[in-house]
Amino acid sequence: MGSPLSDLAGLTMCASAMSSGNDRLSLANQDLVATGGYQPLLARTRTFHRPVGPETYDCVKLATVRDGSAIVYSEFGEKHAKVGDVLLLGANVLCGAQPEGHVTVTVIYLDLDFILDQFFWQYIDIVKDRFASQSVADTIYTEPAQLMGLGEDRIGMLMPWLDELVALSVDGQYRERFHRMQALWHAVIDQVSPFIHVSPTRTLPAQRARTRPSVPRGRRFAPLRAEARAVRELLASDVRRAWLLSELSGAVHLSEKQLVRVFTNAYGKTPLAYLTMLRVEEMARLLRESGVSIAEAGNLVGWVSRNRAATAFRECTGLTPGRYRAMQEKSL
């Protein structure tokens, strides 16, 4: 499931795309717009020849490698993905890929609330109500990104189900063929779930929110506090600035403790963790699109220390800035 939950057995999926500031519609939601309606379960097959990301998506993704191979990097570091592998990404986890020639994948995009509801019923014996689903899931699933080797034979079993799921998604048949799409999804995850790693370490959601910065997901079904939106806009307006909790809380007339609680409830991460992710995304863009040095890129997004910039970049993407730039140059 993505966040801890976002691993899978109780998959944590896609929340609505965030708009405004530096946010962008996820690829999944762009497809949803194209099909004319919102689908909490969506599948697409695509072939990539050029580097992708690092990017974050506002949903859980399950990507099955069908042909070719790629170097994939995320919080787990740098790994080789080939035919027979499945990549599980939680919501708002940075991930990128460097195709080795080309790579063809089928990606299933899953809405977070859709998955949390399934998690609730799967763990009905320990989850007392739906409001507790996220926190319980976070204590069970603690790996935000996983690359699993199912093998070519098992992947071969999935192909017909994946193809049919893609066809129904492309045709916008979610409502009309709801039960069939559910059945296909359950058939796929039934084969994948035994390979999902469940950590024996029970990490508290509050601890992870402070130690694993990732772009927070927006919630479709509940309005955000005005104070949280205002602080988010401040951070996005000037990522280089060394924002302090005291000035952010003062700007919205809350105590620092209240601000952390309100912002984390709205976006899933603390204000400073959110700022870290914004800086990493902008630094990656500079390394891709400009000739500035790594130290300059870090400085341009607000880090005086090159070491601090490199550490944050690696924690969020799984790559050093130098390795990331080399991968981009290799693809040219």
User: Which CATH number characterizes residue 228's domain?
Assistant: 1.10.10.60
> How many Å separate Cα 303 from the centre of its chain?
24
Are 42 and 152 part of one and the same domain? yes
Which of 29-33, 166-170, 185-189 comes out lowest in average pLDDT?
Answer: 29-33
pLDDT at 180 over 90: yes
* Least confident segment among 40-49, 189-198, 308-317: 189-198
Same domain, 90 and 20: yes
pTM, to two decimals: 0.59
135 or 265, which is more confident? Answer: 265
Domain assignment present for 48: yes
Residues 169 and 225 in one domain: no
How much of the chain exceeds pLDDT 90, in percent?
29
Instruction: Specify if 274 maps to a domain.
Output: yes
206 in a structural domain: no
Last residue of a domain, one of 164, 195, 226: 195
Q: ∠87-279-248 over CA atoms, to 5°?
A: 120
Residue 200 inside a domain? The answer is no
Q: Is the dihedral of CA 297, 298, 301, 305 positive or negative?
A: negative
Q: Is 210 within the bounds of a domain?
A: no
Total number of domains constituting the chain: 2
Question: Could you give the angle at the alpha carbon of 34 between the alpha carbons of 28 and 39, nearest 5°?
Answer: 50
Q: Which two tokens stand for residue 99?
A: 């195709």
Q: What is residue 133's predicted lDDT score, i.e. its pLDDT?
A: 61
Residue closest to 271 by CA, chosen among 239, 312, 307: 239
Distance CA 274, CA 88 (A): 22
Domain of 147 in residue numbering reads as 5-195
The reported pLDDT for the residue numbered 30 is 44
Is 110 inside any structural domain?
A: yes
Confidence check: pLDDT of 235 > 60? yes
Mean predicted lDDT score pLDDT of the chain: 76
SS3 53: strand
Please indicate, yes or no, whether residues 145 and 281 belong to a single structural domain of this protein.
Answer: no
3-state secondary structure of 213: coil
- Looking at residue 136, its pLDDT comes to 63
231 in the same domain as 191: no
Q: Note whether 244 and 185 are within 8 A (CB).
A: no
Whether residues 63 and 178 share a domain: the answer is yes
Q: Is residue 203 part of a domain?
A: no
Highest mean predicted confidence (pLDDT) among 44-58, 66-80, 120-134:
66-80
Catalogue the E-assigned strands of 111-176: 145-149
Q: Could you give the CA distance from residue 217 to residue 89 in angstroms, rounded to a whole number?
A: 14
The enclosing domain of 165 has a CATH number of 2.60.120.280
Element spanning 99, H or E = strand 95-110
Whether residue 105 has pLDDT greater than 70 = yes
Q: Which of 162, 97, 81, 114 is nearest to 5 (CA)?
A: 114
Answer yes or no: do 191 and 250 share one domain.
Answer: no
Kindly state whether residues 189 and 223 are assigned to the same domain: no
Q: What digits encode the pLDDT tens for the residues 308-318? A: 999 998 888 88
First and final CA of the chain: distance in angstroms? 34
Domain identity same for 76 and 186 = yes
- Confidence grade of residue 51 (pLDDT, cut at 50, 70, 90): confident
* Same domain assignment for residues 226 and 171: no
Is there a single domain that holds both residue 139 and residue 181?
A: yes
Residue 189 lies in a domain: yes
- Residues 240 and 117 reside in one and the same domain: no
